[in-house]
């Protein structure tokens, strides 16, 4: 290993992190042979046949090697910082242009087609966003906790993200959420990640349980945070927990109460006419919904907490209350988000994932088949080119988004966990190198690369084994496709080059 303060201008062999290069090579090779495995029976040909996907992938790999060489030996790594803004601006233009000029593939306009070559600007924008983030955040005096800096950072991430959503590529947009881990490393409050987690939880709860339950959970968690932060956990247990328990049973109590007042027959009659879509004037007791009581109590409690916070000068409580209000609003807008913002296919995928709808022949079919393929691999797999599920096309998109199925079926648990560990090693190595870097730019860019690879890894593999909804994003370096192969290679090798640059001169 190198020692700090070594001589400048050290040789190639010692400055490049060969571990990363080796990782890249192994992953690319795994991808290539598995692409061949997934297509060899439907398009029987040699692995090098340039009409087949494995042959084309070989071309993408070869060109990637050229790109990597250019990045490592030709392009001066110092240029990135200076050119990051123009590159970013150009990418944004491409992203917008593709909406109007791109070709439509599976319901989304995100591809440029130049003859046989297709290019997805969304893949490039991950690099340019990372570069600009690294540039901006490594400026002297940048502080993420400062509102202005935070907003600029957020905009750099959100602008391409939103445009990609407009292209109907919500999956790719989701990857940008991963930058939050980098922001966390750079000093963003952990509470933000916590709140995003809470937002996702309440979103899911609203869909699976009910608005009432979701609001109750949001209120409960917010109160816990407030009481914990101000060191009054005991009070929370004594004062708030019984209230939450009471509210948990409130809908049931209300039901009993209104039955007692109105009478069971009347209740049934009302229920029947509501089901029939008639307008009925409800008796007074039935008009009181448990949700109103819960919201009322919360409204009463809020000023009390705010007053106490004012007395103690506790800013956290304000923010927590703000978060809680935001959470409740999110719960109420979930219906809108779910039904109006999300696209049909995405909604279905989420519904299937959450078990709201059984649909084995439709959306769930992909996941079902993919799980069967991976599951049938067992411990050591069926052997290379011997898979029955992946070779005969039970798994859709199996050379691109579902390439992991082929690995799972033919290489078994040994293969799948091996690949995952390889990625973990790759990401760990990037983070380690980033942390050792003396320049903020390299560190931040490194974290961006790590975040992107991680998001792709987790979402892609999670999707094939039913942990995530079916979101069509590729497995880095492994999935078939020129755009993603080039983009990830460029992304990784820019980091390797930056890292090398430092080793060379320090």
Partner 1 sequence: MKLNRENKLLIGLCTAAAILIAKLFTIQILDEDYKLDAQNNSMVYTTIYPTRGIIHDRNGEILVGNKVAYDFMVTPREVEEFDTLALSRVLDVSPEFIKDKMAEYRKFRRKIGWQTVVMIKQIPQETYMKFAEVAYKFPGFRGQARSIREYPFNAGGNLLGYVSEVDAAYMKRHPDEYKAGDYAGKTGIEAAREKELRGEKGYNIWLRDSRNKIMSRYEDGAQDKEAVPGNDITTTIDAHLQHYGQMLMNNKVGSLVAIEPSTGEVLTMVSSPGIDVEMLADIGKHYGEISSNPYKPMFNRAVQAPYPPGSVFKLVNALIGLEEEVVYPGTQYPCRMGYHFGRNKLGCHEHRSPINLEESIMMSCNAYYCYVLRDLLENPEYGSFDESMDKWNEYVKSFGFGRKLGSDFPSELGGFVPDSKYYNKVYGKGGWKATTVISLSIGQGELGCTPLHLANLCATIANRGYYHIPHIVKDSEHVTIDPKYKERKYTMVDTTHFPKVIKGMYRAVNSGFGSGGTASIAAVEGLDICGKTGTAQNPHGHDHSIFICFAPMDDPKIAVAAYVENGGFGATWAAPIASLLVEKYLNGEISDKRKYLETRVLEGDLMDRVKVK
- Rule CB under 8 A: which residues touch partner 1? 41-42, 181, 184-185, 361, 369, 371-379, 388-389, 392-396, 408-409, 412-413, 416-417, 420-421, 423-424, 427-428, 431, 435, 454, 458, 461-462, 465-467
Quickly list DSSP for 470-489: ----PPTTTSS-HHHHHHHH
CA distance 368 to 359: 10
The torsion angle over the Cα atoms of residues 57, 58, 64 and 69, rounded to 10 degrees, is 170
User: Least distance to partner 1 from the beta carbon of 396, Å?
Assistant: 8
CA distance 481 to 75: 25
The torsion angle over the Cα atoms of residues 336, 337, 341 and 343, rounded to 10 degrees, is -100
Element (H, E) at 104: strand 103-105
CA distance 25 to 18: 10
* Residue (184 or 506) nearer to partner 1, CB: 184
* Residue (17 or 409) nearer to partner 1, CB: 409
User: Least distance to partner 1 from the beta carbon of 109, Å?
Assistant: 27
Inter-CA distances, 422 with 72, 294, 374, 475, Å: 23, 49, 18, 13
User: Least distance to partner 1 from the beta carbon of 41, Å?
Assistant: 6
* Residue (258 or 464) nearer to partner 1, CB: 464
Q: In what order do the strands lie in the sheet with 117-119?
A: 103-105, 108-114, 117-119
* Residue (226 or 444) nearer to partner 1, CB: 444
User: Least distance to partner 1 from the beta carbon of 132, Å?
Assistant: 22
* Residue (217 or 461) nearer to partner 1, CB: 461
Q: How many helices (H) and strands (E) does the chain have?
A: 21, 3
CA distance 298 to 300: 5
Element (H, E) at 337: none
**CA nearest 461: which of 450, 475, 478?**
475
Handedness of CA 286, 292, 294, 297 (dihedral sign): negative
Quickly list DSSP for 25-46: HHHHHHHHHHHHHHHTTTS---
* Residue (95 or 434) nearer to partner 1, CB: 434
User: Least distance to partner 1 from the beta carbon of 443, Å?
Assistant: 10
User: Least distance to partner 1 from the beta carbon of 361, Å?
Assistant: 7
Residue 295 class from Cβ within 10 Å (0-12 exposed, 13-18 middle, 19+ buried)?
A: middle
* Residue (222 or 453) nearer to partner 1, CB: 453
Compute φ and ψ for 438, nearest 5 degrees. -90, -20
CA distance 203 to 197: 10
* Residue (60 or 181) nearer to partner 1, CB: 181
User: Least distance to partner 1 from the beta carbon of 454, Å?
Assistant: 6
* Residue (102 or 377) nearer to partner 1, CB: 377
Find out whether 366 and 464 touch, Cβ atoms under 8 Å: no
* Residue (264 or 361) nearer to partner 1, CB: 361
* Residue (109 or 185) nearer to partner 1, CB: 185
User: Least distance to partner 1 from the beta carbon of 100, Å?
Assistant: 35
* Residue (55 or 178) nearer to partner 1, CB: 178
User: Least distance to partner 1 from the beta carbon of 488, Å?
Assistant: 18
Residue 251 class from Cβ within 10 Å (0-12 exposed, 13-18 middle, 19+ buried)?
A: middle
User: Least distance to partner 1 from the beta carbon of 189, Å?
Assistant: 11
Beta bridge partners of 113: 118
User: Least distance to partner 1 from the beta carbon of 103, Å?
Assistant: 26
User: Least distance to partner 1 from the beta carbon of 382, Å?
Assistant: 9
CA distance 52 to 480: 11
């Amino acid at each position: 290993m190198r020692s700090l303060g070594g001589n400048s201008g050290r040789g190639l062999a010692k400055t490049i992190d060969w571990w990363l290069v080796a990782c890249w090579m192994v992953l690319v090779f795994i991808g290539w042979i598995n692409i061949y495995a997934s297509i060899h029976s439907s398009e029987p040909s040699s692995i090098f046949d340039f009409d087949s996907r494995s042959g084309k992938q070989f071309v993408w790999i070869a060109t990637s090697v050229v790109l990597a060489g250019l990045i490592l030996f030709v392009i001066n790594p110092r240029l990135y910082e200076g050119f990051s803004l123009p590159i970013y601006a150009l990418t944004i233009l491409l992203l917008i242009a593709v909406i109007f000029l791109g070709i439509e593939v599976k319901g989304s306009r995100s591809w440029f087609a130049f003859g046989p070559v297709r290019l997805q600007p969304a893949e490039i924008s991950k690099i340019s966003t990372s570069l600009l983030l690294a540039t901006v955040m490594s400026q002297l005096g940048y502080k993420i906790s400062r509102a202005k800096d935070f907003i600029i950072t957020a905009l750099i991430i959100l602008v391409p993200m939103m445009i990609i959503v407009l292209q109907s590529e919500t999956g790719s947009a989701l990857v940008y959420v991963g930058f939050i881990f980098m922001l966390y490393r750079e000093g963003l409050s952990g509470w933000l990640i916590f709140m995003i987690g809470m937002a996702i939880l309440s979103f899911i709860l609203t869909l699976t349980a009910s608005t009432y339950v979701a609001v109750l959970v949001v209120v409960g968690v917010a109160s816990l945070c407030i009481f914990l932060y101000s060191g009054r956990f005991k009070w929370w247990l004594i004062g708030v927990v019984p209230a939450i328990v009471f509210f948990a049973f409130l809908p049931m109590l209300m039901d009993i109460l209104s039955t007692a007042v109105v009478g069971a027959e009347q209740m049934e009659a009302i229920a029947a006419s509501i089901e029939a879509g008639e307008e009925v004037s409800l008796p007074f007791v039935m008009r009181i919904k448990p949700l109103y009581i819960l919201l009322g109590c919360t409204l009463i409690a809020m000023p009390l907490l705010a007053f106490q916070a004012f007395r103690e000068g506790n800013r956290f409580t304000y923010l927590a209350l703000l978060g809680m209000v935001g959470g409740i609003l999110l719960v109420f807008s979930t219906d809108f988000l779910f039904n109006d913002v999300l696209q049909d296919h995405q909604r279905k995928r989420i519904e299937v994932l959450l078990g709201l709808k059984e649909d084995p022949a439709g959306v769930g079919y992909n996941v079902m088949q993919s799980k069967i393929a991976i599951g049938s691999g067992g411990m050591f797999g069926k052997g290379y080119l011997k898979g029955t599920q992946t070779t005969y096309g039970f798994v859709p998109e199996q050379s691109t988004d579902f390439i992991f199925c082929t690995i799972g079926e033919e290489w078994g648990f040994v293969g799948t966990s091996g690949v995952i560990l390889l990625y973990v090693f790759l990401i760990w190595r990037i983070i380690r190198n980033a942390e050792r870097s003396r320049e903020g730019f390299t560190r931040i860019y490194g974290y961006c690369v790590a975040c992107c690879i991680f998001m792709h890894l987790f979402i892609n593999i999670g999707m094939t084994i039913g942990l995530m909804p079916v979101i069509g994003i590729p497995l880095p370096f492994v999935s078939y496709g020129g755009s993603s192969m080039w983009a990830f290679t460029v992304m990784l090798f820019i980091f390797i080059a930056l890292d090398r640059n430092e080793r060379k001169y320090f």
